[in-house]
Amino acid sequence: AFVTLWQQRQERLLRMGMLEGYWNNDQATLNQINSQLSSQYQVDLSKRHVLNTEDRVLVEHETPAAADAPADAPAEASGEAAAPATEDEGKVVHTFADEEAMKAFAEVWQQRQSVLVRMAVLKAYWDSEKSLVDQLNSRLASDYQVDVTKLYALDEERRVLIERPAPLTAQPAASVQSAAEAPPAGAAPAPGGEISPATSSPAGTASPSNQP
């Protein structure tokens, strides 16, 4: 029962790592698009923008104090680059040479919106997996007195779980396999199963480590 619980935790951590990898790839793509919008079209992503297709200009507007988007939503989600121009005052930040140039901008903006949607979906999946990992960590702590930041060895002959000291070197220790395959007292990899916050990822780094 313990091995099954631990393996469930490892599977969740592996999924979290995969989701984070996708999220980081999209973040890199988003950074490139943001850089292009800023340098090529003088777009300030903290502001609201309207594409005036009749005059072929991009108009910048101050973001309203009571924005429709939630306060914690990305500023880009409230952009209106593809919307018709309004009568509100605004500053023209870019004038397009022709229809093709305006179409190229619209495609870049739509690509950016698609990336933002994917990132939001990945974040939702990551949060769901993180919640399940937290539940598994709680069960491991309450049922087996396991601190998931430490190393453990499973001795099948004596049916005991042994807490091991942290390695002195950075070299990873050997992984302990499942109960059906494991040697009596294999060691787990280095600590790191907890999730650490990070601003450039969904919420942090997931690592399927210290696994019996």
Q: Over the stretch 116-158, which tens digit does the pLDDT of each residue have?
A: 999 999 999 999 999 999 999 999 999 999 999 999 999 999 9
> Is the confidence at residue 207, as pLDDT, over 60?
no
**Quick one: how far is CA 14 from the chain centroid?**
14
Residue pair 188/151 in contact (Cβ under 8 Å)? The answer is yes
% of residues, the chain, pLDDT over 70: 68
Would you place residue 90 in the very low, low, confident or very high pLDDT band (cuts 50, 70, 90)? confident
Residue with the bigger pLDDT between 87 and 144: it is 144
- Which three-class secondary structure state does DSSP give residue 164? strand
* Mean pLDDT of the chain, nearest integer: 77
- Number of helices (H) and strands (E), helices first, in the chain? 2, 5
CA distance 41 to 96: 9
Q: Over the stretch 41-69, which tens digit does the pLDDT of each residue have?
A: 999 999 999 999 999 999 998 877 654 44
